[in-house]
Amino acid sequence: MKNEAVKILQKKKKTILEQWSTNQLASDGLRDDLISNEDQLAQSDELLTVFLNALTDDNIEDPASYDFEKVIDILSGISISRAKQGFSSRETGVYIFSLKDALLTVLQQEIQDPTMLYSQSLKINKLLDNLTVITFETFIKGREEVILRQTDEISEISTPVIRVWDGVLALPIIGTLDSSRTQIVMENLLQEIVETGSSIAILDISGVPAVDSLVAQHLIKTVSATRLMGAECIISGIRPEIAQTVVHLGIDLSQIITKSTLSSALKTAFQMMQLQVVKKQREKVSFSKI
């Protein structure tokens, strides 16, 4: 005999979709600024159709059944896309919870026997709770991908290599310098040295909030890598508090040229290249009356 809940749910698909849409419109998880009502309805219709087609007497009590693979694929795609679109985890969870509410509402309308209603509702609850867990897992995965991408983009933006003069590069560092960021700094700087043939690189740490032994070691590694490429490195932006910290920690920067400001570092770079910048005085222009 066909399971009563399966038979009812498959027969009442249209009613379920209508109830689910009503639940979504009534919830605070509705974000028509991120997805249109028409697109959300089409998305819901596809998910519900695949779910009901996969539902059988045998798997209604087996959330791990292979029959739900396509359902999970569609649900995962929805969760990841919502994470990237800007939905919160709560809003994404409400989307699936509202489906469960719609399914249980239809069962309550169609099953009169309290004992049977309780039994069938438990099965649907267990099945939808498993799908909700999958929703959150894939949402978190999608959000982590967004965070990683944004972190990479911020790292690229915050470590620009600037060609300030022929043969002179400057790399202003803003924020904390950790191991992964040091790698990006070195890669960008060395690549630019190769492409431009520059002989001097200025690392400006004015935007680094604090320098500890770890940050200092990262700077020394960057300087060493630069020298291996045949370029000299100057560190600028050494503020008084940073100088005191370096001395207190016993960090040896004596083999590295350091300057307090970027302008001082640039002036030193010009001297090393035997260049002199001369201020040109403006010619006075006089006008005579005709």
C-alpha to C-alpha distance for 226 and 214, rounded to whole angstroms: 19
For the domain made up of 4-153, the CATH class stated in words is mainly alpha
Contacts of 21 (CB under 8 A, 6+ apart): 41, 44
Domain ranges in the chain are 4-153, 162-272
* Homologous superfamily, domain 162-272: STAS domain (3.30.750.24)
Grade residue 155 by pLDDT with cuts at 50, 70 and 90: low
Show the tokens assigned to 62. 């087996």
Q: 221 pLDDT exceeds 50?
A: yes
Grade residue 30 by pLDDT with cuts at 50, 70 and 90: low
Mean pLDDT of 203-216: 82
Instruction: Give the global pTM.
Output: 0.56
Q: 288 pLDDT exceeds 60?
A: no
- 110-145: per-residue pLDDT in tens? 998 899 999 899 999 999 999 889 888 888 888 888
pLDDT averaged over every residue in the chain: 84
Give Cα separations from 278 to 267, 270, 274 (angstroms): 12, 12, 13
Closest CA to 4 of 90, 100, 97, 113: 113
Q: In the prediction, which pLDDT does 279 show?
A: 76
Q: In the prediction, which pLDDT does 284 show?
A: 61
288: left (phi over 0), alpha (psi -120 to 50) or beta: beta
Mean pLDDT of 10-37: 82
Mean pLDDT of 217-238: 88
